[in-house]
């Protein structure tokens, strides 16, 4: 597979999961092209993927372990981690330690981290930055379907007649998937609808833009459900055979006739009526949702409100229709599959289900397994601040920047007795760690990832590890061996880890669960082609789930959930009169540790900015390009004013990417409140009450 010719690998950025062909130049660089044979992108790459070759190099790389500013070797480093964790566990119990990992981990890294924490340390205190990205979708899927199942595939977007994009700037955040939609729209009519308070690039390419008031998605989709019921558009046969909870969900939506929806969302009645008619009158509808839905204090309810409409109409699991969550990170899905969230277990099993625990415990021959969920991301760092967590291992992520209330998180990391950070470059978080471990990065790592449509692809190495950098799974296994768990962590390569993961999934599938990659075991690891799961060990499986029911609640039925719109705790007032919304821009990725190396990418939007409506700018004496200060009770930033009516009056928008590393003007997540969804634990990164003034 990866002999002569380009190396076939996968882009390390968004959840589209594009295939990339890499031709190394033998001097540490490489040229990059889209893989025409990869079913996620068929050769397309977006600006970030095309610039991957420009982001290689050793600038700022961490090349050796470092303990309190003193370079050390791996033996001393791993001995120290094992000793600190073992001491904390001995003195304070297993829940005094924690791992905080990443949707950019490869599945094999994720698997061993989860196995060590949940099966051997005996705590569920492993959570991931995917908590910030799609935990509300996971929770919504589980309560509707009985499992965290994404029903459809990317082809459904090309086969749909109507695509509704809710809280998703797909044109910038999942560009290749958006390009696929636009290409399909040139072949036949597809009506694109964007639901977003901002007039994004996606909205500007859509046929219809519902600029709802921030946070009113539940009211919109309750209104749609009300219309579905009122028009007799319920698929009675599907509901009778496969769905519970219709009458309760419809009753919860009974106070949402058209006029009420218009009043709450601020969308014109005629436009709403047109949208509802389009949705109810079109069989092939896909509703895509992303961070604008998930990152809310009622994100799970928003997901349920969307899924309710698809279940009521039976529009799920068949070509061109279904609810579709798109993930932000390249391997958020793989993390879900191995149980990287603190409330899940491996193979889409539940940690609070005794049968599931028994299955995994037996398979792992695990000495200990927690019965309750562990700390979710925001709570984990609060527990560091209060001293509950004594030892923390952060891998492949930069929480001192990316978590809400980031100043508090930075202080919590500094307050924790022992913090080890594994990363490839210096970040705001490595600078305050006790111990830093040099990890391998994209181009050096070897493993698998799963994209938003459940397609597993290989990430293949094409560069040697720099310095003495090691793969994350190797570092985790090194610590596990030193903690006395050597037999269970004696992996020689990622293929052995994946084989174990696949075997566990087969066991879970035979116990009636959705996740099954046991069929991958028949392939040589390096030859694995990009492939959707389920992939059972014998026979073939449908690419889509639920066309004829088969949900994963014990009775096989799906659940519609009665949801009532809730008001966010992040309300404005005289002191903080604006709502601050955050998100991605087209050409940067997360905290810019890789994309900032490409001058070409930085030309798109070169510095931090705040979008301000012209009326708000005028009222506050702010001219275009002025420096402005945006502050909440948690912190503030200074950024350039971008005066535009793309963002509605009373709200501001700032990108999430810039950090103290790139600018002295602050990091936007220091401003954001840490209010979380009570079900999913996902923080409300789309909404914090702030004040605005000219700097």
Shortest gap between Cβ of 541 and ligand SF4 (angstroms)? 25
CB of residue 133 to ligand SF4, shortest distance in Å:
14
Judged by CB under 6 A, which stretch of 8-16, 120-128, 429-437, 641-649 contacts ligand SF4?
Answer: 8-16
Q: Which two tokens stand for residue 461?
A: 């190495």
Run of H or E residues at 66: strand 66-67
> Of 13, 154, 533, 552, which lies in the binding site for ligand SF4, with binding defined by CB under 6 A?
13
Residue whose C-alpha is closest to residue 306's, from 558, 10, 563, 489: 563
Least Å from the CB of residue 19 to ligand SF4:
9
Q: Which of 176, 558, 637, 692 binds ligand SF4 (CB under 6 A)?
A: 176
For 117, list phi and psi in degrees, rounded to 5: -70, -50
Residue 179 and residue 202 in contact, taking contact as beta carbons nearer than 8 Å: no
49 binds ligand SF4 (CB under 6 A): yes
Residue 21 makes contact with ligand SF4 by CB under 6 A = no
Q: Is 48 in the site for ligand SF4 (CB under 6 A)?
A: yes
Q: Contact letters (x/-) for ligand SF4, 466-495, by CB under 6 A?
A: ------------------------------
Smallest gap from residue 58 Cβ to ligand SF4 (A): 22
Residue closest to 77 by CA, chosen among 611, 435, 389, 573: 435
- Closest to ligand SF4 by CB, 16 or 213: 16
For the CB of residue 49, give the shortest distance to ligand SF4 in the complex, in Å. Answer: 3
Of residues 45 and 400, the one with the C-beta less far from ligand SF4: 45
CB of 176 to ligand SF4, least distance (A): 4
Is residue 53 part of the contact set for ligand SF4 (CB under 6 A)? no
> What tokens does 502 get?
């696949």
Q: Is 17 in the site for ligand SF4 (CB under 6 A)?
A: yes
Of the two residues 16 and 338, which places its CB atom closer to ligand SF4 in the complex? 16
N- to C-terminal Cα separation, the chain: 56
Q: For the chain, percent helix, then strand, then coil, each to nearest 5?
A: 35, 20, 45
**Region 654-693 residues binding ligand SF4, contact defined as CB under 6 A:** none
Q: Return the residue nearest ligand SF4 (CB atom).
A: 49
**46 touches ligand SF4 by CB under 6 A:** yes
Query: Are 675 and 570 in contact, with CB atoms under 8 Å apart?
Result: yes
Q: Before 50, cis peptide (omega within 30)? A: no
Q: Which of 7, 16, 138, 517 binds ligand SF4 (CB under 6 A)?
A: 16
d(CA 348, CA 515): 6
* Residues from 371 through 430 that contact ligand SF4 (CB under 6 A): none
Distances (CA, A) of 463 to 142, 351, 442: 40, 38, 9
Helices (H) and strands (E) in the chain, counts: 24, 28
Taking the complex as a whole, the smallest distance from the CB of residue 634 to ligand SF4 amounts, in Å, to 30
| Region near ligand SF4 per CB under 6 A, out of 11-19, 127-135, 223-231, 488-496 | 11-19
Residue 175 binding ligand SF4, by CB under 6 A:
yes
- Cα(509)–Cα(499) distance, integer angstroms: 15
**Binding segment toward ligand SF4, per CB under 6 A, in 85-93, 168-176, 318-326, 333-341:** 168-176
Look at the block and give the residue holding tokens 């809730």.
566
Residue closer to ligand SF4 by CB (options 174, 471) is 174
Asked if residue 666 lies in contact with residue 660, where contact means CB atoms within 8 angstroms, the answer is: yes
Residue 459 CB, shortest distance to ligand SF4, in Å, is 12
By the rule CB under 6 A, 253 interacts with ligand SF4: no
What whole-number distance in Å separates Cα of residue 628 and Cα of residue 639? 6
Min CB(178)–ligand SF4 separation in Å: 8
Select 11 or 483, whichever has its Cβ closest to ligand SF4: 11
Cβ atoms 243, 548 nearer than 8 A: no
Measured distance CA(469)–CA(437) in Å, rounded: 8
User: Across-strand partners of 99?
Assistant: 126, 393
Radius of gyration in angstroms for the set of CA atoms belonging to the chain, rounded to a whole number: 24
Q: Does 14 bind ligand SF4 (CB under 6 A)?
A: yes
Contact between 334 and ligand SF4 by CB under 6 A: the answer reads no
Q: Which of 420, 442, 444, 448 is nearest to 432 (CA)?
A: 420
* Cα(301)–Cα(136) distance, integer angstroms: 8
Among 7, 11, 144, 250, the residue binding ligand SF4 under the rule CB under 6 A is 11
Count of CB atoms situated within 10 Å of the CB of 88? 22
Size of residue set near ligand SF4 by CB under 6 A: 14
Pairing of strands 97-101, 391-395: parallel
CB of 40 to ligand SF4, least distance (A): 7
- Nearest approach in angstroms of CB 52 to ligand SF4 is 8
Kindly state the smallest distance separating residue 463's Cβ from ligand SF4, in Å: 18
Residue 502 sits at φ, ψ, to 5 deg, of: -65, -40
Query: Where on the chain is the footprint of ligand SF4 (CB under 6 A)?
Result: 11, 13-14, 16-18, 41, 45-46, 48-49, 174-176
């Amino acid at each position: 597979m990866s002999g002569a010719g380009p190396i076939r690998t996968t882009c390390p950025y968004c959840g589209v999961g594009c295939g990339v062909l890499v031709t190394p130049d033998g001097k540490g660089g490489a040229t990059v092209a889209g893989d025409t044979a990869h079913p996620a992108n068929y050769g397309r790459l977006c600006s970030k993927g095309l610039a991957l070759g420009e982001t290689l190099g050793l600038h700022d790389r961490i090349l050796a372990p470092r303990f309190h500013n003193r370079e050390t070797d791996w033996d001393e480093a791993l001995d120290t981690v094992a000793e600190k964790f073992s001491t904390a566990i001995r003195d304070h119990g297993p829940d005094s330690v924690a791992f905080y990992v990443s949707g950019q981990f490869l599945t094999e890294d994720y698997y061993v981290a989860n196995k060590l924490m949940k099966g051997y340390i005996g705590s569920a205190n492993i959570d991931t930055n995917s908590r910030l990205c799609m935990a509300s979708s996971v929770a919504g899927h589980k309560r509707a379907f009985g499992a965290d199942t994404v029903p459809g595939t990317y082809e459904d977007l090309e086969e749909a007649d109507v695509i509704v994009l809710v809280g998703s700037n797909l044109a910038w955040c999942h560009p290749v998937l958006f390009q696929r939609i636009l290409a399909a729209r040139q072949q036949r009519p597809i009506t694109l609808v964007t639901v977003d308070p901002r007039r994004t690039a996606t909205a500007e390419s859509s046929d219809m833009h519902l600029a709802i008031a921030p946070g009113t998605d539940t009211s919109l989709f309750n209104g749609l459900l009300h219309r579905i019921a009122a028009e007799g558009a319920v698929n009675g046969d599907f509901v009778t055979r496969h769905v519970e909870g219709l009458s309760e969900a419809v009753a919860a939506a009974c106070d949402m006739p058209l006029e009420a929806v218009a009043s709450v969302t601020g969308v014109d009645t005629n436009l709403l009526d047109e949208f509802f008619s389009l949705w109810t009158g079109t069989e092939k509808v896909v509703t895509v949702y992303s961070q604008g839905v998930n990152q809310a204090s009622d994100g799970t309810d928003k997901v349920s409100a969307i899924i309710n409409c698809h279940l009521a109409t039976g529009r799920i699991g068949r070509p061109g229709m279904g609810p579709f969550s798109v993930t932000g990170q390249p391997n958020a899905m793989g993390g879900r599959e191995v149980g990287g969230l603190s409330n899940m277990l491996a193979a889409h099993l539940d940690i609070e289900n005794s049968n599931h625990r028994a299955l995994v415990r037996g398979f792992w021959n695990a000495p200990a397994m927690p019965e309750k969920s562990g700390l979710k991301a925001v709570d984990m760092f609060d527990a560091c601040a209060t001293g509950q967590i004594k030892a923390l291992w952060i891998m492949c992520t930069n929480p001192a920047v990316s978590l809400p209330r980031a100043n508090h998180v930075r202080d919590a990391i500094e307050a924790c007795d022992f913090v080890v950070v594994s990363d490839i470059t210096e970040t705001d978080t490595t600078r305050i760690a006790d111990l830093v471990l040099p990890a391998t990065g994209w181009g050096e790592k070897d493993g698998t990832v799963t994209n938003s449509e459940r397609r597993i692809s290989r990430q293949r190495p094409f560069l040697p590890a720099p310095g003495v950098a090691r793969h994350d799974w190797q570092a985790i296994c090194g610590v596990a061996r030193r903690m006395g768990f050597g037999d269970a962590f004696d992996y020689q390569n990622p293929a052995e880890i994946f084989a174990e993961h696949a075997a566990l999934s087969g066991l879970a599938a035979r116990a009636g669960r959705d996740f099954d990659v046991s069929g991958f075991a028949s392939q040589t690891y390096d030859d694995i082609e990009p492939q959707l799961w389920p992939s059972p060990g014998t026979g073939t499986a449908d690419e889509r789930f639920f066309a004829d029911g088969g949900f994963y609640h014990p009775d096989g039925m799906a659940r519609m959930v009665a949801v009532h719109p809730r008001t966010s705790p992040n309300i404005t007032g005289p002191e903080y009169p604006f709502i601050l919304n955050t998100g991605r821009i087209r050409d940067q990725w997360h905290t810019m540790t890789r994309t900032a190396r490409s001058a070409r990418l930085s030309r798109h939007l070169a510095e931090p900015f705040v979008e301000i409506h012209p009326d708000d700018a005028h009222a506050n004496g702010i001219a275009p390009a002025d420096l402005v200060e945006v502050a909440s009770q948690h912190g503030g930033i200074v950024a350039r004013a971008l005066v535009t009516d793309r963002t509605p009056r009373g709200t501001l928008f700032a990108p999430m990417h810039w950090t103290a590393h790139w600018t002295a003007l602050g990091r936007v997540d220091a401003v954001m409140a840490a209010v979380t969804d009570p079900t999913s634990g996902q923080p409300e990164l789309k909404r914090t009450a702030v004040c605005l003034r000219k700097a």
